[in-house]
Chains A and B, each alone.
Chain A
Amino acid sequence: MAKITLSKLRHSYYPNPKSPSDYALKEVDLDWSDGGAYALLGPSGCGKSTLLNIISGLLVPSEGQILFDGQDVTALPPDQRNIAQVFQFPVIYDTMTVYDNLAFPLCNRGRDEDTVRRRVMDIAEMLEVTEMLDQKAAGLSPDNKQKISMGRGLVREDVNVVMFDEPLTVIDPHLKWKLRSKLKELHQRVKATMIYVTHDQTEALTFADQVVVMQQGEVVQIGTPVELFERPAHTFVGHFIGSPGMNILPCQLQAGTARFGDHTIALEGPIRGEATGETQIGIRPEFVSLSDSGLPATVTKVSDVGRHTVVECNANGTRINAVLEGAAQHNTPEKGVDVHLDFRRDQTRLYVDGWLATDPQTSTEAAR
C-alpha cells in the first residue's frame, strides 16, 4: 500500500508530438493518499485508461514521473510495481480451476504452499466463491469471472494499489449494484489504495471518496461526490455529472449582473476577477422551480421518471430542465404551457470560458 504521486505526467501515442492535441494526456499532477478509494471519471477517449495504464506500468509516459511512496517507479515494469489491475472484460485462465486462478500470482512469485493456501482461502471467503474453488474457471458466469479477476489482484498481501478499468461493463444490471457494494466492502476490509476508472457517474460517485473528472486528457476537477455535484468547477463537470446535467445558459455581463435575454439573473456571489470571454450561467435542474414570476419559458417536454419529474422548457431558444420533486410533482404543467422559472440563488453560478467564476456569498453579505 502506498501513496501515489503523479508529477507533470504527459503522454502521447505519437513518437514526436507537436501540438497539444497530439497528447492523450496533458500535464497531470495528482496526489493519492494511502488507502483511499478514488475514481477516474470521464467520457470515452478522455485519457483515463491511458492514465491507468501508466500507473500500472503497461505504458511508459512520454514525460513526467510516477512515485509510489516517494520512490520513482516510472521505469519499472508492471510485475515489479506490485500493483493489481482488473480489466473491463474478466481475464481468467480458462484451463485452470478457480483455486489455481487465485493462486497464480502467488505461485509466480514463488510463495510457499501454506501461504498460498491461506491467502487463497481468505480471499475466496471474502469474495464468497469458496464453494467454486474446485470448479474450472471457464464455466463461471461473467460476474463470478470478474470476482475471480478481482481476487487475483487482492490475493497478494503487499499490493500498492488495485486498479479497476470499467470492471462492471459486462455484468448484468441487477448484479452490478451487488458487485459494487462488494467492492466498497472489500475496500474497507483490505484498506488498499483503489483506483476505479469508469464513464458511469453512478459507479464513480458510489465507490469513491474522491473523484477525478477528466476531459480530453486533462483533469477538470478533483473532489468528493458532493463537491462535484454542488460546485462543478467546469461546465463539463456540471453537464457530465447529474441526470439530467446542469443547465447552461449563455449570458451577458452588465455592470456586475448577468443578463439572459432581457432578464437579469441573480448569481450566488461576487464574480472573480475580470470576466472576459464566453460567459455562461450554470444551474442544476434540481434548483430550478416553477413560480409565478421569474424567467418566462415554454414547456416542451415532460418526463415522469418516477421519484421525480423532469420538465424540459425553452427560454429564448435555450433548453432549461427543471426537476420537480415531492409536492411540486402534483401540479406538473403540460406540454406547450407558458411558465415562469425561478433559480435558487445560492446555486446559480457564472462560468467564464467554461470555468467557474463566482464565489459563494459570505455570511455577512447574505445577512444584508
Chain B
Amino acid sequence: MKTENQKAWFFVLPVLVLVAFNALIPMMTVVNYSVQETFGDNVFFWQGLDWFEQILRSDRFHAALGRQFLFTFLILIIEVPLGIIIALSMPRKGFWVPVCLVTMALPMLIPWNVVGAMWNIFTLPDIGLLGYFLNHVLGITYDMTQNPLAAWVTIVTMDVWHWTSLVVLLSYAGLVSIPDAYYQAAKIDGASNWAVFRFIQLPKMKTVLTIAILLRFMDSFNIYTEPFVLTGGGPGNSTTLLSIDLVKIALGQFDLGPAAAMSLIYFAITLLVSWLFYTLMTKDDLN
C-alpha cells in the first residue's frame, strides 16, 4: 500500500508565507484598489474596469509609456554592443584579468540614489566637472535642468555608465567558456575575425546575452531612483518615465485607483515583453 506523506507541506510553507507577504498580498491590495474608488475613511465604491479604461485612454500614460520605451531602447542599443565590444577586448588570462573585472564591477556596486546624486553634481553647469567643462571650456550650452535633450543625454549616459558592466561581465563569462579548440579550428579553416565572431563567439554568448538583455530590459523599464534624483522627471515632463509618473499619481495626487490600475498595466507590459523576448530567444534550443 502506498503511504501518503503530507509532511512535505511543512517544507514549502515558509516559502509560501514569504511569497505571500512580499508579493501576493501587496499585489492583491493593488488589484483591490484598481477596481474601487475611495474618498477616505476606508469607504470604498465599486468602480469596475473604469480606471483601466481611463489609464489606457489617457494621453499622459501614452506619453510616459513612449518615453519609457524610448529610454529602454536607447540604453539597450548602446549597452549591448558596447558591452560585447569591451568583453571582446578584455584579456583572457594574466595579471590584468582581475584588474579589469574589478574595475568593471565598480559602477554596479554603487547605490542607485548615489549614482543619481553623483551625476547630478557632475553635470551642474557651474560647479560640476562635466557641466563646467562643456559650458565654459568647450562653449556648448548644456544644462539638463533647462534643456530636455541635455536631460535625456544625461540619463542615458548615466545608465550606460552604471550598467554596461553587467553586459560586459556576462558576455565575458560566455567568452572565456569557449574552448581554445574552436579558435584553432577556425584558424585552420581560414575564418576571418568577423566569421569567428559571427559563428563562434556570438552563438556561444547567446545564452548569457539573452539573460543580460532580459535583466537590462526589466531593470531599465522599471528604473526610478536615478532619474528621480537626477532630473525629477524634468524639465517639464520630458524625462517623466513610467515609474516616476506612477509615483506622482499615487503619492502626489493620491489617486489610488488610477495608480493601481496603472501599476497593473505597467506590470503586465513588463511581463509580456520579457516573456516574448525569452520565448523567441530560446525557441531554437528546444528542438
Interface 9-mer from A33-41, A89-97, A114-122, A313-321: A89-97
Cβ of A5 within 8 Å of any chain B Cβ, yes or no, is: no
Using A91-B182, A93-B200, A95-B203 as known contacts, say yes or no to A84 and B188 having CB atoms under 8 A apart.
yes
User: Which B residue sits closest to A83, measured CB to CB?
Assistant: B188
Inter-chain contacts of B199 with A (CB < 8 A): 93, 95-96, 104
Does A149 have its Cβ within 8 Å of any Cβ on chain B? yes
A91–B287 alpha-carbon span in the complex (Å)? 20
A-side contacts of B189, CB under 8 Å: 79, 104-105, 108, 152
Q: How far is the CB of B8 from chain A (nearest CB, A)?
A: 38
Q: Is the CB of B184 within 8 A of A58?
A: yes
Q: Please, which residues of chain A bring their CB within 8 A of the CB of B203?
A: 93-95
Most buried by A among B195, B199, B203: B199
Asked if B188 and A85 make an inter-chain contact with CB atoms under 8 angstroms apart, the answer reads yes
Question: Does any Cβ of A come within 8 Å of B140's Cβ?
Answer: no
Contacts of A89 in B (CB 8 A): 179, 181
Give the docked Cα–Cα distance between A253 and B45 (Å): 112
Quick check: A79 and B187 within 8 Å, CB to CB?
yes
Q: How far is the CA of A109 from the CA of B192 in the complex (A)?
A: 10
Check A87 against B187 for contact (C-beta < 8 Å).
Answer: no
* Nearest Cβ on chain A to B72's Cβ, whole angstroms: 27
Looking across the interface, which residue of chain B has its beta carbon closest to that of A59? B184
**Which residues of the other chain, B, contact A88 by a CB distance below 8 angstroms?**
181
CB of A91 within 8 A of CB of B190, answer: no
A interface footprint on B147-171 (CB within 8 Å = 1, 0 otherwise): 0000000000000000000000000
Check: B185 CB closer than 8 A to any chain A CB.
yes
Chain B CB within 8 A of A142 CB: no
Q: Say yes or no: is A139 at the interface (Cβ < 8 Å to chain B).
A: yes
Q: Which residues of A contact B179 (CB under 8 A)?
A: 89
Whether A17 is near chain B, meaning CB under 8 Å from some CB there, is no
Residue B191 CB within 8 A of the other chain: yes
Given A87-B181, A91-B182, A96-B199, check contact A78 B192 (CB 8 Å). no
The minimal Cβ–Cβ distance linking B207 to chain A, given in whole angstroms, is 11
We find that the number of chain B residues with CB closer than 8 angstroms to chain A is 17
Assembled-state Cα–Cα distance A267/B68 (Å): 91
- Contact status B191-A104, CB under 8 Å: yes
B240: shortest Cβ distance to chain A, in Å?
Answer: 42
Mark A153-175 against chain B: 1 for CB-CB distance below 8 A, else 0.
10000000000000000000000
Q: A108-B192, A108-B195 are in contact. Are A77 and B181 (CB under 8 A)?
A: no
- Per the 8 Å Cβ criterion, residues 194-218 of B in contact with A are 195, 199-200, 203-204
Partner of B191, one of A58, A77, A84, A108: A108
Whether B181 pairs with A105 at a CB distance below 8 angstroms is no
Query: Do residues A91 and B185 form an inter-chain contact, with CB atoms below 8 A?
Result: yes
Q: List residues of chain B with CB within 8 A of the CB of A91.
A: 181-182, 185
Closest to B189 in A: A105
Q: Which residues of B contact A93 (CB under 8 A)?
A: 199-200, 203
A56 within 8 A of B: yes
Q: Which of A52-111 contact B (CB under 8 A)?
A: 53, 56, 58, 77-79, 83-85, 87-89, 91, 93-96, 104-105, 108-109
A149 to B182, CA, bound (A): 11
Shortest CB distance A193–B (Å): 15
Q: Which residues of A contact B287 (CB under 8 A)?
A: 139
Taking the closest CB of chain A, its distance from the CB of B187, in whole angstroms, is: 5
Q: How far is the CA of A161 from the CA of B185 in the complex (A)?
A: 14
For B188, B189, B200, which residue has the most chain A Cβ atoms within 10 angstroms? Answer: B188
Chain A residue nearest to B188 in the complex (CB) = A78
Contacts of B204 in A (CB 8 A): 94
- Taking CB atoms and an 8 Å cut-off, the chain A residues in 240-276 that contact chain B are none
Q: Are A105 and B182 also in contact (CB < 8 A) when A93-B200, A94-B203, A96-B199 are?
A: no
Q: Complex: how many Å from CA A337 to CA B195?
A: 68
**Shortest CB distance B201–A (Å):** 11
A108 pairs with B181, CB closer than 8 A: no
List of B residues within 8 angstroms of A109 by Cβ:
190
- Measured between alpha carbons, how far is A139 from B190 in the docked complex, in Å? 24
Cα–Cα, bound, A85→B183 (Å): 12
Q: Are B184 and A105 interface neighbours, CB within 8 A?
A: no
CB-based closest 5 A-B pairs: A108-B190, A87-B181, A91-B185, A79-B190, A105-B189
Can you list 20 A-B pairs, Cβ within 8 angstroms, ordered by A? Answer: A56-B188, A58-B184, A58-B187, A77-B187, A78-B184, A79-B188, A79-B190, A83-B188, A84-B188, A85-B184, A89-B179, A91-B181, A94-B203, A96-B199, A104-B191, A105-B189, A105-B190, A108-B190, A109-B190, A139-B287
Known: A58-B184, A84-B188. 20 other contacts (CB 8 A): A53-B184, A56-B184, A56-B188, A58-B187, A77-B187, A78-B184, A78-B188, A83-B188, A85-B188, A91-B181, A94-B204, A95-B199, A104-B191, A104-B199, A105-B190, A109-B190, A139-B287, A149-B185, A152-B185, A152-B189
B residues apposed to A, CB below 8 Å = 179, 181-182, 184-185, 187-192, 195, 199-200, 203-204, 287
